[in-house]
Amino acid sequence: MARKRISDLIQEENQKPSPTSEESTIDIPATPVGHDTEEIETVEEAIDTAQVHLDATVKELQVALEQTQKQEALYKQQIQDLEATVEDLKANFEKTQEKQSLYPKQITDLKSELAEQKASVKKLTKELADAKQDALKLAEANANLTEELNNLKKPKEAPKAITQYKKSYRALDTRPITLPAEDAPDNSSQMWLLD
């Protein structure tokens, strides 16, 4: 191949017009190109070696290109997955923001409900205390009535001595006294009302 180029160059030089007298010419003696077979074989071996290296390099580049294309496809898939994940995260974030916007109203509602319950607890506590006081008064009154009833049932004893009584400012109870039936249980202890 190199030999063909040299011969082409020589033919081109021969076809050029001869220089005019105004142009200066340089004479270079031509040396015949020898057809050494060793040189040709060496050149051919070098060409073959270069071709082998070139083929190996092409194969390596093709393998590298295939790997790069596979990696590119993998990266594109990963990008699509990440974009889908980003969309999901955006949707979740928007839902969370909507829920958070409702929290202040819920907190206000819960606070007002708690205040109402506290007021209700205070009211019920007062009513319970009043009910206990009433139960104590009723138990005391019941105990007094039971004692009076027991005193009425006892036989009267003879007066021992004349005693001087103090004036009492307490109003007398004008209700009729009714005796309980003999079968009725003794309700003298009404302390169960205190519970």
Name the stretches of the chain with pLDDT < 70.
1-4, 16-37, 155-195
Name the DSSP letter for residue 145: H
At 23 the pLDDT is 54
At 133 the pLDDT is 93
At 25 the pLDDT is 60
- Residue 29 vs residues 26, 32, 42, 85, 93: alpha-carbon distances, Å: 10, 10, 27, 79, 88
> According to DSSP H, which parts of the chain are helical?
2-15, 37-153
Instruction: Write the secondary structure of 10-36 as one string of H (helix), E (strand) and C (coil).
Output: HHHHHHCCCCCCCCCCCCCCCCCCCCC
Compute and round to an integer the Cα radius of gyration of the chain: 64
pTM of the prediction?
Answer: 0.33
